[in-house]
Structure 1
Amino acid sequence: MIDVQPITSSVVIVPKAKPPLRKRAWKSFRTFPMIYIGSAIVLILFVFAVFSPWIAPHPYAKQFSDGITANGMPTSPNHKFIWGADALGRDVFSRVIYGSRVSLEVGILASVINLVIGVTLGLISGYFGGIVDTIIMRVTDTVLAFPFLIFNMALVAILSPSITNVFIAIGILGWGVMTRVVRGQVLSLKEFDYVQAERALGASNSRILFKVILPNVIGPVIVLSMLNVGLNILTEAGLSYLGIGIQPPTPSWGNMINEGLQAYQYAPWILWYPGIALLLSVLGFNLLGDGLRDILDPHNVTH
């Protein structure tokens, strides 16, 4: 009888080596370039806003005698005023840097108010439906029916212009889109099996809303919040440009643009630099929001 020995073999699985960090970073950038560009712009804006007292070479309200030439014109860019001076002899660069603090404060705080009101109403409207949904949606339609900037102008005029009243007005009038987006998400999510299972197990409505449904709408909420920050910064600039937003001498890119338009023919730099800062800030938050949307989209997941 032939003794047959079983043949055993061991297969060693060698893990695939990860590509170098430089290649992985480049691949990620090629896949989602918007989030990197937007994040860089937003990061620079945050640095300017937080460290403006150390970055700005001069106090934003200080008027310099050499900021005005002998013939009464603002001083053009030079070694002391790298972006020139305005019509009152104040350093434009310092005022633009301090203006970033105002823009971020209004943009972020107003966006937080948008977020709280919009998410809360959207969750309640989509989950409970019926008469509650009808009432909330009719109120939302009413808010969205008014031109956003004109509605803010009226409310700020009633409250009196100040930085606090500006972000409150923008915040309590800008939640309509957020409410609609969250409501649409909830209408589809509440029919899923895991939500029905929680309900069958006797979970309370508050638990289902905030522990089960809310985590699944975070993606669209984050994206829309980033886009709202850019819109709120632009709205604040518009209100300040019209003279009913941030009041001088506090620097706002909006009131600086207004001052620059009056002196554009002989001192165009007063208009250029706050205008460019406003453009880049809004662009940065929009690109960041677009990039987050791409990353959070399950169809864009790459291996």
Structure 2
Amino acid sequence: MSVQNASAAIGGASKSQKKSRGALFWKSVRKFPMVYVGGLIVFLLVICAVFAPVLALHNPITQYQNGLHMDGTPVGPSKFFPFGADDVGRDVYSRLIYGSRVSLIVGFVATAISLLIGTTLGLISGYFGGFIDTVIMRITDTILAFPFLLFALALVTILGSSLTNVLIAIGILGWGVMARVVRGQVLSVKEFEYVQAARALGASTPRILFRVILPNILGPIIVLATLAVSQNILVEAGLSFLGVGVQPPTPSWGNMIYAGVQDYQFAPWLMVYPGVALLLAVLGFNLLGDGLRDILDPRNATH
């Protein structure tokens, strides 16, 4: 067989292998219907964030005179305000829609920062071992020793209250678990034959880490990243609720819930609607993460 024919055969086998893996993945998805529920919630959340100017009925920071009664109390759900108005006459529905943008920005961007830091440190720690592993893991232990929300609260207080500082605080404090998981995965695969073969062929260390080892441990990383998004959304809401996160008039589900708590006796919708939105967002990402964990579990691939 010529070199060209051999290359063609290898290429065909590679394509068929990728196709079979894809078919196996979607076959596994059908076994876990919760993935569909979580995926649908996440999809709707993304639609709300991307098309917020289209879906919102009013400007989220505009104060409307007809949003307040004569005594200054907010009006309830109506045709003009489907979810009612807040304590200064702003449309709650429109603020909910725009608040999804803040939640997704924090969820995705902060998770991406943590993913970059944690994956890199985990790869280095697990691959090299020894003194480097000890130093990185002790730093990781220090990060994990502090309650996440309290640590983020302290850091945002120091940096100042803004969306950018919330992203920085959550991102640089949330990599500890990711680093530990990646390190454990690297320790389990770094002695496999394909890694030894890459070393024998003279591949550089970065190539071995990011082109050989990383693609083979993506499953747990994807699952953990999906679950981290929901955690980061909750942390942002907590920081905004405490007054150190996203500041009014920028809509955030956290600061909307805080405003609703102040007026819950005569305007309960101010607290209920953002609370339900936060619940659904966290539930969607958790269901999606749990489903992906089951799908990517090798033990389920054999059934």
d(CA) in 2 for partners of 1:27, 1:93:
38
Aligned match of 1:184: 184
Q: In 1, distance between residues paired with 2:230 and 2:155?
A: 20
Aligned residues: 278
- The TM-score with structure 2 as length reference comes to 0.89
User: Which SS does the other structure have where 1:86 is aligned?
Assistant: coil
Summarize deviations over 1:91-144 as a string: whole Å, max 9, x none. 110000000001101110000001100000000000000000000000000000
- Per-residue CA deviations over 1:34-55 (Å, capped at 9, x if unaligned) read 2111100000000000000110
CA distance in 2, matches of 1:81, 1:62: 13
Query: Closer, same or farther in 2 for the Cα pair 1:171/1:294, shift >3 Å?
Result: same
Following TM superposition, by how much is the alpha carbon of 1:208 offset from its aligned partner in structure 2, in angstroms? 1.2
Question: How far 1:302 sits from its partner (Å)?
Answer: 5.8
- Residue in structure 2 matched with residue 161 of structure 1 by the alignment: 161
1:49-64 equivalences in 2 (<5 Å): 49-64=49-64
Q: Percent identity?
A: 68
- 1:246 corresponds to: 246
- Cα-to-partner distance string for 1:162-206 (whole Å, 9 max, x where unaligned): 111101110000000000000000001011122122222322211
Task: Tell me what 2:289 maps to.
Answer: 289
Shift of the 298–113 alpha-carbon distance from structure 1 to 2, 3 Å rule, reads same
State the structure with more CA Rg: 1
Gaps of 5+ in 1: 1-25
Higher mean C-alpha deviation, range 26-35 or range 263-272: 26-35
What is the one-letter code of the residue matched to 1:208?
I
Are the structure 2 counterparts of residues 210 and 30 from structure 1 closer, same or farther at C-alpha, using a change threshold of 3 Å? closer
Aligned to 2:236: 236
| AA partner of residue 236 (structure 1) | E
Instruction: Report SS of the residue matched to 2:250.
Output: coil
**Partner amino acid, structure 2, of 1:70:** M
**Runs of 5+ unmatched residues, structure 2:** 1-25
**TM-aligned CA deviation for residue 207 of structure 1:** 1.6
Rate the CA distance shift 1:196–1:113 in 2: closer, same or farther, 3 A. Answer: same
Q: Separation in 1 of the partners of 2:78 and 2:84? A: 7
Q: Specify which structure has the higher proportion of helix.
A: 2
- Aligned counterparts, 1:62-211, within 5 A: 62-211=62-211
TM-score by length of 1: 0.89
Per-residue CA deviation, residues 216-255 of structure 1 (Å, 9 max, x unaligned), is 1111111111101100000000000000000000000000
